[in-house]
Amino acid sequence: MTRALITGGAGFIGGHLSEVLLDKGYEVTIIDDLSTGRFENVEHLTGNPHFHFAIETIANTAVMDRLVSECDIIFHLAAAVGVDLIVSKPIHVIETNIGGSEIVLQTARRYRRKVMLASTSEVYGKSNSAPFAEDDDSVLGPTIKNRWSYAATKAVDEFLALAYHKEIELPVVIFRLFNTVGVRQSGRYGMVIPRFVQAALKDEPIRVFGDGKQTRCFGNVSDSVRAIIALSECDEAVGQVFNVGTQEEVTILELAERVKTRAGSGSEIMLVPYNEAYEEGFEDMRRRIPDTSKIQRMVGWKAEKTLDQTLDEVIAYFRKRIV
């Protein structure tokens, strides 16, 4: 039985990954300090004898040493995420993302464990070369705009993981997630779809930041988890970076309209300037679409669920929780 350790395992993606790995016959242990994760994401798994959890930070090196020594593969998902958190707590974001990954890789090196490292489409920054391929240049904003600190920390994580692979042949695989969404995702840190859906179901204003013409591709978490597991089981993927996302592109304004329509909502759609939503001088990417040809060639993966299917799932999920 393969033993998996998931850092950040009580997060939105970690909970879904835990479910699928358990269904596939894995022994699953998660570690999460619940700073952004929620125990309710995995509470339904606690009766499974093959599921274990530690409510602790990955900065606790003694706990990490024990957990890594007892696993076969690490899915490193723990990170400080969400634009609200990036803007309001930049020290926490930088220290958590870089320091946490350093501890995971150091401990993995000690026991020679495979590491699946979660990265992000944010590393492409302000590049205009969409759709983004894994070997495209990154174009980040200036250091005086802390909005780019998250992208920089994840880029450092990638550099560090690839250095461990190059120098000591530690088996690592990096997957860059493009706006993964689905049921159980919280809007607490600015995640756009749960924020829009909750507003729509309450007939409250749906707040669209900027001019709403920026585009994104929203991939269903079930597709993302399929990709992560397929890459983890592919020996040829070691030492490489892969985009994971859908190519169904939508403007944020159109997204708000679709949420409103599918939820049968009477909400007003409001445009909110970035400097009111976040901070003065906030910058955003205009277009973010992945080139997924590499992962398709490597493991035959491609996204299956449409955005409308995902929106319907999320709307149904929140409709049960909003009375």
Contact present, 142 and 148 (Cβ < 8 Å): yes
pLDDT at residue 275, rounded to an integer: 77
User: How deeply is 100 buried, as exposed, middle or buried, from its count of CB atoms within 10 A (0-12, 13-18, 19+)?
Assistant: buried
Residue 261 falls in which region: left (phi positive, over 0), alpha (psi -120 to 50) or beta: alpha
Contact present, 92 and 59 (Cβ < 8 Å): no
Would 209 be classed as within a structural domain? no
Would 196 be classed as within a structural domain? no
pLDDT tens digit sequence for 229-275: 999 999 999 999 999 999 999 999 999 999 999 999 999 999 998 77
Residues of the chain with pLDDT > 90, as a percent, come to 81
Which is more confident, 88 or 11? 11
User: DSSP class of residue 287?
Assistant: B
What is the number of structural domains in the chain? Answer: 1
Would 257 be classed as within a structural domain? no
Looking up residue 71, the CATH number of its domain turns out to be 3.40.50.720
259: tokens are 């949420």
Would 112 be classed as within a structural domain? yes
Would 166 be classed as within a structural domain? yes
265: tokens are 């909502």
Q: Which domain holds residue 39?
A: 3-186+219-246+290-304
Would 137 be classed as within a structural domain? yes
Count Cβ atoms below 10 Å from residue 261 Cβ, excluding itself.
12
Would 273 be classed as within a structural domain? no
pLDDT tens digit sequence for 23-80: 999 999 999 999 888 999 999 999 999 999 999 999 999 999 999 999 999 999 998 7
Contact present, 34 and 55 (Cβ < 8 Å): yes
Q: Is 143 a residue whose pLDDT tops 60? A: yes
Would 60 be classed as within a structural domain? yes
pLDDT tens digit sequence for 277-291: 676 656 778 899 999
Catalytic residues: 150
User: How deeply is 210 buried, as exposed, middle or buried, from its count of CB atoms within 10 A (0-12, 13-18, 19+)?
Assistant: middle
